[in-house]
A and B are shown apart, each in its own frame.
Chain A
Amino acid sequence: MNRTELGVRRYFIEFIGVMAAFIGLFFLRGRVPAGDLKNLLYVASLIPVWLGGWVMVRAYRAVDEYHRQLILKSFTIASGLTALLTLSYMQLQRLGLPAISITWTWPLMGGCWGLCSVFFSWRDYASRYGVAKTLKWTGAMLALVAIPTALYVALAGALGWPHTVRAIILVATAIFLALNGYFIFVKRCAA
């Protein structure tokens, strides 16, 4: 196993760990009554957020130069798309569209980043394995995002968790990023 594969495997273990910690604290603070403990949980949930940033920096430093270029390219396009979309929505709000919380910026940017990564990896994969196999892989990945998200929605309904749209998007984004990376890097590095 080369440096890039090791770095990416480590990234997914660490990323899933910090996301699990964040989602755990997210749900826990929703069930705790207002007070010092709730405030502490709000502050504590910032720790996995910052650790997530550190995990991404570590992953960037661990991968080889081609992947660094792909990461930078995806991130740059995602940042530009997010800026354009948020600026456009800001203008459209003046025409009467409802105000949206700034917290939506993260799922938007995460989604743009994921889509850009998928696009570049899709092109890479198609050049080696052909379009038909790549389409099959893309369908499998989308199903793997949709099925756990649907299961989460069902489970949240049954157990009485807060199944707001924001929580569902958070879960879907986390699954999408984890699977995206797993399929793109780990599976294909080993191919």
Chain B
Amino acid sequence: MKNSLKELRAAKGWSQGDVADKLDVSRQTINALETGRYDPSLPLAFAIAKLFKCRIEDVFEP
């Protein structure tokens, strides 16, 4: 599954560590999501969408 997490994060000027802290996950998790090596669970996907104030389909695409 593709995602635009890296672009959204860059637009906010946040580091991977900043996003990790806001989502209460590790920095490696954000790295794995951005590099497409890990697809998040639904609760984490919703949390990511909520953090960037957008819909899930704006962050993730199949």
Contact = CB atoms under 8 A, between A and B. Distances in A.
Contact of B26 (A66, A123, A127, A128): A66
Chain A, interface size category, equals 10 to 19
A65 B23 CA distance: 12
B28 A3 contact: no
A4 B38 contact: no
Contact of A65 (B17, B21, B35, B40): B40
Count chain B CB atoms within 10 A of each CB in A3, A66, A69, A188 and give the residue with the most: A66
B25 interface: yes
A2 B24 contact: yes
Given A2-B20, A69-B38, A127-B37, A64 B25 contact: yes
Contacts of A3: 24-25
Given A124-B31, A124-B32, A67 B38 contact: no
A66 B32 contact: yes
A191 interface: yes
A2 B47 CA distance: 15
A121 to B, nearest CB: 8
B29 A66 contact: yes
A73 B12 CA distance: 34
Interface in A1-50: 2-5
B19 to A, nearest CB: 11
Nearest to A1: B21
Contacts of A128: 31
Contacts of B40: 65
A3 B29 CA distance: 13
A60 to B, nearest CB: 14
Contact of B21 (A2, A185, A191): A2
A127 B31 CA distance: 9
Contacts of A67: 26, 28-29
A163 to B, nearest CB: 38
B2 to A, nearest CB: 16
A156 interface: no
Closest 5 A/B residue pairs (Cβ): A66-B29, A64-B25, A4-B26, A2-B24, A189-B26
17 contacts: A2-B21, A3-B24, A3-B25, A4-B24, A4-B29, A64-B24, A64-B25, A64-B26, A65-B44, A66-B33, A67-B26, A124-B32, A127-B31, A127-B35, A128-B31, A189-B28, A191-B17
